[in-house]
Amino acid sequence: MTGTDRATHTPAKASARDTARLAAQVIAPTLAAGAVIRRRAGMALAERYALDRRATSLLAELRGHYGPGPLRLDLAGRRFAVVLQAGDAAHVLAGTPDPYSPATREKRASLEQFQPHGVLISRGAERDDRRAFNEAVLEYGHQLHSLAPRMVRTVREEAGKLLGATTAGDGEIGWTAFRTAWDRTARRIVLGDTGRDDTGLTAMLGRLRSTANWSTAAPRRATLRDRFERRLRTHLDRAEPGSLAAALAATPASPGTDPPGQVPHWLFAFDGAGIAAFRTLALLSTHAAQETQVRNELAVTDLTEPHLLPYTRACVLESVRLWPTTPFLLRESVRETAWGEDTLPAGTEFLIYAPLFHRDESLPYSDRFTPEIWLDGTAQDTEALMPFSAGPGECPGQDLVLLVTSTMVAALLERHTYLPERPGRLRPDRPLPRTLDHFGLRFAALPFRPGR
C-alpha cells in the first residue's frame, strides 16, 4: 500500500486561541529566522529562546488535545492544516504533486523573486518536465554523480585553501570563513572554475532571496532579477567541462523546461548544504566516539578518489535530521481531499513541520547524535524522518549534496581536529538543542596526530 491510499486521520478545528498560539510560536519564528535565507539575528534569537523546542512542544500539546488528525486553522484569509502525525505527513508527501502541490501560493510569491521557472513552484506538465530535467542533471538515485571525480577534487582544493588561510591567520574557523570557501566550491561545481570568484552573482542572489523572505508582502525586484539572470547566463553559456553547467547543456530538455531557470534553486540550495556540513563539523568536534568512527573510515579510504564514505555521510544526515535546513514542507491541495470521516477543501495549505517528527520524544535517538540509524535500516524504516522530503517531490539533489558535504567534512578532518568555542551546548551527555545557530559556531583547527 502506498502513502496515498492509506487511511488518514479526521481533521480537527483549532480554537481562536490555539490559532493565535500557532501563528506566534510556530509560523512567525520560522519566518523571523528566514524561510528562504537564514537571518543572523533571527537565528541567534531562535537559539537563545529555544524557539524550535517551544514550537514542537506546542504542536505535541495540540496533538494530545485535538487528536492526531490535521489541525485546521484560518489565518490571513487562508485555510491551513497543520499535519500532526508522521503517517499523515508521508501521505501528503506521497501525493505530490496531485492532489498535494508543492507550488503553494506563499512559496510561489516568494521564490518567483529569483526562480520563476523553478520546478518547486511549477505545476502540471511543466512541473513534470522540469522535475525530469533536474533528476537527469543532478543524477538523482545515483550516489556517485558521474562528475564526482571533479567534484571531489574541487572540494578538497577549497578545503585545503580554507585550512591554509586558517593556519596563516588566528587558527580559527568561523561561519564567515567557512561560507566563503563553501560558496567558491558551490560556484565551481555548478558554473565551473571560472565562476569561483563571482561573489557578485551570489550577492545578487542573496538580495533577491532576502526579498523572497517576505513572501507575498515583498515588492518585485525585476531589474535586479534581470541582471542576475543575464550574469548567470554568461556562466551557463560557457558550459565549462566538468561542471553542472556542462551537464545541463548536454541534457535533452522538452520545450517548457527552461534549463537555466533551474539553476538559481541549485545555487540557493547549496547554501543549506553548507550549513549542514558546518553543523556536522560541530557535532564531530564534540562527540569523540563518532569522530573516531569517521577517522577509522578515512584511514582506509583513498580520499583523492570519489568514495561513498557511509559513516561520514550518515553524520551529515544526522545534521539535517537534528536541524532540518527546510523545517517546513508545504503543500497546497489542488482539489478536495478526503481525511478520515471528513474532507478538506481545495486550496488548503498543509504545513508539515519536520522537527516535530525528527525530534519526536518517543524516538530513542530523538535528541542524540546517532549516525548509526542511517546505516542499520532504522531511518529507512520510519516515515518520521524526512530531511530531504519524501515521495515524488523529494530533493533530487540529495545524492549529489551528500557526496559534496561528506567529502568536505572528510577533507577538513583528514589532518585536523577541531575545538569548538562553546562545546557546552553540544555535549554528548545532554539532549542536543533543537536550534543550532550556525552563525555562532567557531572552532580552533589543530593538527591531528593519530594515536595522540
Chain contacts with ligand HEM (rule: CB under 6 A) = 102, 119-120, 131, 134, 138, 265-266, 269-270, 272-273, 276, 320, 325-326, 329-330, 387-389, 393, 395-397, 400-401
Shortest distance in whole angstroms from residue 15 CB to ligand HEM: 28
**For residues 8 and 67, is the Cβ–Cβ distance under 8 A?**
no
Read off the amino acid at residue 47: E
Shortest distance in whole angstroms from residue 189 CB to ligand HEM: 8
Nearer to ligand HEM, 192 or 396 (CB): 396
| Cα–Cα distance, 330 to 107 (Å, whole number) | 8
Nearer to ligand HEM, 33 or 276 (CB): 276
Nearer to ligand HEM, 67 or 87 (CB): 87
| Cα–Cα distance, 133 to 257 (Å, whole number) | 7
Those residues whose C-beta lies under 8 Å from the C-beta of residue 180, and which sit 6 or more positions away, are 162
Q: 539553476: which residue's cell?
A: 263
Nearer to ligand HEM, 293 or 389 (CB): 389
- Three-state DSSP state, 150: helix
| Cα–Cα distance, 335 to 345 (Å, whole number) | 7
**For residues 151 and 145, is the Cβ–Cβ distance under 8 A?**
yes
| Cα–Cα distance, 186 to 154 (Å, whole number) | 9
Nearer to ligand HEM, 37 or 395 (CB): 395
Q: 502525525: which residue's cell?
A: 85
Nearer to ligand HEM, 89 or 269 (CB): 269
Nearer to ligand HEM, 12 or 409 (CB): 409
Distance of CA 419 to the CA centre of its chain: 26
Q: Which three cell numbers stand for residue 182?
A: 563553501
**For residues 346 and 334, is the Cβ–Cβ distance under 8 A?**
yes
Nearer to ligand HEM, 273 or 379 (CB): 273
Shortest distance in whole angstroms from residue 103 CB to ligand HEM: 8
Shortest distance in whole angstroms from residue 169 CB to ligand HEM: 28
Q: Which three cell numbers stand for residue 211?
A: 526579498
Q: Which helix (H) or strand (E) covers residue 352, if one does?
A: strand 349-353
Shortest distance in whole angstroms from residue 164 CB to ligand HEM: 25
Shortest distance in whole angstroms from residue 370 CB to ligand HEM: 18
By beta carbon distance, the residue nearest ligand HEM is 397
Q: What angle do CA 122, 125, 128 make, to 5 degrees?
A: 70
Shortest distance in whole angstroms from residue 253 CB to ligand HEM: 14
Nearer to ligand HEM, 245 or 426 (CB): 245
Nearer to ligand HEM, 172 or 382 (CB): 382
**For residues 443 and 418, is the Cβ–Cβ distance under 8 A?**
yes
| Cα–Cα distance, 220 to 211 (Å, whole number) | 8
Shortest distance in whole angstroms from residue 391 CB to ligand HEM: 9
Shortest distance in whole angstroms from residue 387 CB to ligand HEM: 5
Shortest distance in whole angstroms from residue 3 CB to ligand HEM: 14
**For residues 286 and 329, is the Cβ–Cβ distance under 8 A?**
no
Q: Which three cell numbers stand for residue 280?
A: 556536522
Laid out side by side, the sheet with 328-333 consists of 12-13, 71-75, 78-82, 349-353, 328-333, 100-101
